[in-house]
């Protein structure tokens, strides 16, 4: 925790130069999961590029176009130091965005370290209904992606292998989201996998097999032909699980 805070100090100083007393809070987030494949970022960020960087959020009293221009001039320096582009929000925006980004911002609420200022998330919680809805969107989107991707392979097994490998990180992220919905501790990817396997009853350990592919770059055509039917079935089961989730 302390190391992450120290790594983020140069960015905090730069933001202090830009915002002065308007910088109300500066936090590091993803302190347990910032190196995990498929970790979520609010829309507009690139987790594939910044996955191993230190992620931060700044809450400011006001935010202007001039502020953004001043920050933009420093982004290359931040990236050179291993610091992801920070999320910068006006003070009123975060709480009002929880229902829109319950997965992304809920993960920040659950896993952050205050570097300076007050804790901007004190007393905030994600509505379980918003979280369930976001998980359903994520699950249904993944299912549609797999079906469309399969059609676009035109029956080529090598293209199917690429589809499976490319989709594996997003599948791992989906499982973590569903685990969060079901109350599994954030950042425990192994438990997320086990919990998903128990919940959906997918046969043959397919959940574990696909998750492992998040760390590889290719599989054989034969392996792809073997995996895909069970993989698709597991995602269909996850959609049904989330669609019928009541919180019990």
| CATH architecture group of domain 2-117 | 2-Layer Sandwich (3.30)
Report the C-alpha gap between 179 and 171 in whole angstroms: 12
Task: Using alpha carbons, select from 180, 228, 235, 243 the residue that is nearest to residue 202.
Answer: 235
The predicted-structure confidence for 4-62, as pLDDT tens digits, reads as follows: 888 999 999 999 999 999 999 999 998 664 443 334 444 444 444 444 689 999 999 99
Report the C-alpha gap between 86 and 108 in whole angstroms: 13
Report the C-alpha gap between 185 and 111 in whole angstroms: 10
* DSSP symbol at 120: T
Cβ count near 216 (within 10 Å) = 9
Q: What is the residue extent of each domain of the chain?
A: 2-117, 128-243
**% of the chain beyond a pLDDT of 90:** 55
Q: State residue 58 phi and psi, 5-degree precision.
A: -120, 130
Task: Using alpha carbons, select from 247, 162, 246, 241 the residue that is nearest to residue 202.
Answer: 241
In the 3-class helix/strand/coil scheme, how is 16-85 assigned residue by residue? HHHHHHHEEEEEEECCCCCCCCCCCCCCCCCHHHHCCCEEEEEEECCCCHHHHHHHHCCHHHHHHCCECC
Q: Is the pTM of this model over 0.85?
A: no
The predicted-structure confidence for 175-203, as pLDDT tens digits, reads as follows: 888 888 888 765 566 676 677 677 777 76
């Amino acid at each position: 925790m302390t190391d992450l805070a120290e790594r983020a100090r140069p960015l905090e100083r730069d933001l202090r130069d830009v915002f002065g007393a308007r910088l109300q809070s500066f936090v590091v987030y993803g302190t347990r999961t910032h190196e995990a494949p498929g970790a979520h970022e609010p829309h507009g960020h690139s987790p594939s590029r910044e996955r191993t960087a230190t992620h931060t959020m700044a809450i400011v009293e006001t935010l202007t176009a001039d502020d953004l221009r001043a920050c933009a001039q420093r982004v290359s320096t931040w990236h050179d130091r291993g610091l992801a582009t920070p999320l910068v929000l006006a003070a009123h925006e975060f709480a009002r965005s929880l229902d829109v980004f319950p997965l992304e911002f809920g993960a920040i609420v659950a896993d952050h370290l205050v570097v300076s200022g007050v804790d901007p998330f004190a007393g905030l919680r994600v509505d379980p209904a918003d979280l369930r809805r976001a998980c359903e969107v994520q699950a249904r989107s993944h299912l549609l992606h797999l079906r469309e991707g399969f059609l676009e392979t035109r029956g080529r097994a090598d293209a199917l292998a690429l589809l499976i490998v490319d989709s594996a990180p997003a599948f791992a992220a989906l499982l973590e989201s569903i685990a969060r919905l079901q109350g599994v501790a954030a950042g425990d990817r192994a438990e997320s996998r086990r919990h998903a396997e128990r919940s959906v009853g997918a046969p043959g350990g397919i959940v574990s097999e696909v998750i492992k592919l998040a760390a590889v770059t290719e599989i054989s055509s034969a392996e792809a032909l073997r995996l895909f039917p069970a993989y698709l079935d597991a995602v269909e089961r996850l959609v049904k699980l989330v669609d019928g989730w009541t919180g019990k």
